Structure formats: C-alpha cells, structure tokens
Amino acid sequence: MWEKYFISGLILIIVLTTLALTNSLNYQDSYNINSLKYSAHHERAEKIQQAVFPLLRQNASVDNVRISFPVISGVKTNTDYLLVCYYRWQGEGSQMLQPSKINTTLCTHIIVGFALVKNNTLVPADPSDIHGYELVTGLKKTVPNLKVMLSVGGGGGAKGISPSVSTSQNRAKLISSIISLLSKCNFDGIDIDWEFPVWDGSSLEDKKNFILFLRDLRNAINSERKNYRNKPLLLSVAVAAVLPIMRASYDIPSLAKYVDFINLMSYDYHDFTWYLPFTGHNSPLYKRKDEFGYFATLNTAWSAEEWVKKGMPRSKIMVGIPTYAHTYILATPYIHGFNAPAVGGGEMTYDEACNFVKNGAVRVFDKESQVPYAYKNRTWVGYDDLESVTAKVKWIKSRGFGGVMTFDLNCDDWNSVCDKALPFPLHRRMYELLKT
C-alpha cells in the first residue's frame, strides 16, 4: 500500500520540480554548492539510489527487511577502539590539506586514497602521488603507533579491479604489485575500496573472485611477514551500507575470515537525482517514523547491525561517519523539511556547512534520526556536526563495534575556518569520546 503513496508523492514532486525548474536554472545562492557531476560521493550515492527500484518491484524484499536490533551483552569496556581516518592526497596546492597539517594524535589509522589498478598492477593515480604517499607515511616518525594504509579504488576509481581478480594469474600479478608498492612507500597495509563487485554492469563472477583475491592476498601477506619488519600488513575493505549491494556484492562470512576490519560506508544514503528529487540526509543514525520498507533501512544503525547479522564480527566493523554534507536546491523556499521537492544538488565540507549556519541558515536537529540539517532561501544542507557525531560515537560504543571510520580528514575544518579555536573539530570530538 505504501508504494502507491510513494509513487503518487513522487509524481507530485516531479510536477512541482518541473514548475520550479524555469526559475531554478539561473538560481544562485550566496553559498557555493559544488556540482556533483564528477564527484566520487555522487557516483556512490547514485548507485545507492538506483538500488531502490528492484526492491520496490519485489514487495516481499521490502516487507521482510529487518529493522529491529538485538539486545547484546559483553560490549567493549576498554579504550581500544580504532579511529580510521581517510585522507585524500590532492597535491601540494595551498588550499589542500597537506600531511604536515594533519593532527596525527587523533587517528589510530590513516588511509591514503586513492591508487588505481591498471593492467593487473597497483599504481598511483599520478606518478607524483608517490611523493605524497611518502610524506604521509613519514608522519610515523613522530607517532610510532600510527598505522598508515593505502587505499585502492574509491568512487569511480575501481574499474580495473574486476578483470584483475578474474584469474589466478591476474591475481598473483596484482598482489605482487601491492606488496611491492606498500614496501616501497613504507605503508602498513592495503584498503580495498571496490565500489562495487557485481554491480552497475560488473561481472557476476566478481563476488566469488573478490573472495579468492582476498584469500590469496591474505596468504601472501602472511608469507611476507618475515620480510616486512616482522609485522604483518593490514588488510581492510571499504563496504557498502545498503541491502541490495550487500546481497549482490559480498560473501560476508568469507570476507570476515580474511580482513582485519571493514570500513562501513554509512553515508550517501540520500542524494539528489532526477528520479528521487527530494531532500534526505547524507548519513542518518536512525530511521524516522515516516520511513517504511526499504527507506527504513537507509541509516547507519540498520546498516551496521545488518552486517553483523550477515556474519561480520562487531569488532571488525568500523562504522563510517562523514565530514562532508550533501546539499540540495529547493524547488521552493517554503517547503524545507525532509522529502522537500528539490531541483539540484551538491556538496559542502563541514567548515562550509558550519559557516552556512553561522551566517543565518536555520539549523534543525532531527531527534528521530539524530542528525541536523540547515536551510536558507533555497539551499538545504544535510550534514554532521558535534551533536550528531557525539550521538553516533556513543551508539557505536554501546553496540560494541570496533570503532569509527571517517571520510575524511580533508572535509573537516582542518584549517579552523569556522571554529577559530581548534582544527579538526569533528575528529577531535570523536577521538575524545572513543578514549573515555
């Protein structure tokens, strides 16, 4: 029954969007909303939005979605939680976060992105990236316990992985190149950010081949242990948070056998697309009471618990918290809550969202989903702030997960643009909560 209301509402939104589009083409707010046309976040989010339609066609799949959480006992009471921070090396431009500006005391692990796979070989996206890799791994000289890993793939950067894991010969060549590059740049491990196996036209054999690759990589890591300063390389995988991709892409019990931990991408749940043109939060903690079926699963809590139900140990799950926001151009400034009609979208960093509120936007903290959004004129921003990351970290600890993953250091207020007192305010809050 709810599907009828959804379709009727969607038709109404499309009509409103069409009426508003003429005036919207020339609309410019005082805040810059960057186009997501070439954004890795947008590419990931669009794949997630596309997952709606198969479930809507299969009523049983929607109705059988589990949204209750089991009572657990024996949760962690120590302070050994991980704070795994992604960092995007973007070159040495003055406006980019440089390794020397990273507060290395806030993260237990830094994952540098993103390398590529070409011709069954791990390579930097640009040859000059090697310099950036070495600058980041050099941070370990002052913080010996810090682990620095290299990530391969990322949104839009994983196209070479599928053929490279399709045969034992290809896998062997790729694994040899991984260990070689990690050793050359003094990395502590590899993160596989394949978005996504068996998805968006990829091979149906990806699911099986991915596990074979991880098995072979784990065996190679174990055999290389004595040659790598007697310390085993770490192996993590960035994984999807939505049900259709979970089902299609991952053999989760087998995945759990080979990885040290997974990085759950519990963000990009909602984003502007032409076929879902209404506002939604980037990374809600919980569902709202007006969300049903598949839409009730688009939140951090559901995703993390579903990975546990499907066989991943809690201790190996790093629950993702984004430091960037998704933005929308409202069809009308008079409708500005969740599910408001929208005619465009973009993204903001945390400092941009913070300044947006400081400069007159109305901030609303949704008590159900435990995340804020803000609006002004026709700009709508769904973001995370100190209040929402506090709620998320407390929940992560209460449920006994292994820690937090952030995407990313670059989008936090690393240069104290909004918060003049301290850089990296979101990471600082997460660190303080995990250590208490």
353-368 pLDDT per residue, tens: 999 999 999 999 999 9
Secondary-structure class of domain 82-324+387-434 per CATH: alpha beta
182, β-bridge pairs = none
Q: Which of 43, 46, 195, 291 is catalytic?
A: 195
205, β-bridge pairs = none
Q: Which residue has the higher pLDDT, 343 or 35?
A: 343
In this prediction, residue 17 has a pLDDT band, given cuts at 50, 70 and 90, of very low
The pLDDT of residue 202 is: 82
Note whether 113 and 151 are within 8 A (CB). Answer: yes
The pLDDT of residue 63 is: 40
The per-residue b/e assignment along 217-232, b for 16 or more CB within 10 angstroms, e otherwise, is: bbebbeeeeeeeeeeb
154, β-bridge pairs = none
Q: Which of 288, 184, 183, 263 is nearest to 225 (CA)?
A: 183
Please give the mean pLDDT across all residues of the chain. 87
CA–CA dist 338, 177 (Å, integer): 47
pLDDT at 12 over 70: no
Radius of gyration for the alpha carbons in the chain, expressed in angstroms and rounded: 21
Average pLDDT (372-377) is: 98
Lowest mean pLDDT among 43-57, 74-88, 118-132, 288-302: 43-57
The pLDDT of residue 21 is: 43
Lowest mean pLDDT among 40-49, 351-360, 403-412, 421-430: 40-49
Q: Which residue has the higher pLDDT, 296 or 26?
A: 296
Is the CA virtual torsion 378, 379, 382, 384 positive or negative? negative
Average pLDDT (144-159) is: 94
Lowest mean pLDDT among 221-235, 338-352, 387-401: 221-235
240-255 pLDDT per residue, tens: 999 999 999 999 999 9
The pLDDT of residue 167 is: 98
Instruction: Give the pair of three-digit tokens for residue 111.
Output: 């994952």
Note whether 92 and 85 are within 8 A (CB). Answer: no
54-93 pLDDT per residue, tens: 554 444 344 444 455 666 655 555 569 999 999 999 988 7
CA–CA dist 376, 354 (Å, integer): 13
In this prediction, residue 224 has a pLDDT band, given cuts at 50, 70 and 90, of confident
CA–CA dist 428, 163 (Å, integer): 40
Note whether 284 and 297 are within 8 A (CB). Answer: no
Contacts of 18 (CB under 8 A, 6+ apart): none
195 carries an active-site annotation: yes
The pLDDT of residue 46 is: 64
Q: Is 196 helix (H, G, I), strand (E, B) or coil?
A: coil
The pLDDT of residue 9 is: 55
pTM above threshold 0.85 = yes
Count CB atoms within 10 A of the CB of residue 242.
Answer: 24
Amino acid at 184: K
In this prediction, residue 36 has a pLDDT band, given cuts at 50, 70 and 90, of very low
Q: Is 390 helix (H, G, I), strand (E, B) or coil?
A: helix
Q: Is 88 helix (H, G, I), strand (E, B) or coil?
A: strand
pLDDT at 226 over 80: no
CA–CA dist 299, 276 (Å, integer): 17
pLDDT at 165 over 70: yes
Instruction: Give the pair of three-digit tokens for residue 24.
Output: 């919207």
Q: How many Å separate Cα 87 from the centre of its chain?
A: 12
pLDDT at 44 over 80: no
Q: Which residue has the higher pLDDT, 150 or 10?
A: 150
Q: Which residue has the higher pLDDT, 134 or 15?
A: 134
Q: Which of 65, 39, 113 is nearest to 272 (CA)?
A: 39
Q: Is 85 helix (H, G, I), strand (E, B) or coil?
A: strand
The DSSP string of 92-106 is S-TTSPPGGGS-TTS
Amino acid at 301: A
The pLDDT of residue 43 is: 64
CA–CA dist 176, 188 (Å, integer): 15
CA–CA dist 217, 329 (Å, integer): 45
In this prediction, residue 157 has a pLDDT band, given cuts at 50, 70 and 90, of confident
Domain boundaries, the chain: 2-63+329-366, 82-324+387-434
Percentage of the residues of the chain whose pLDDT score is greater than 90: 75
Within 104-241, residue ranges assigned H as helices are 129-137, 161-164, 168-185, 206-223
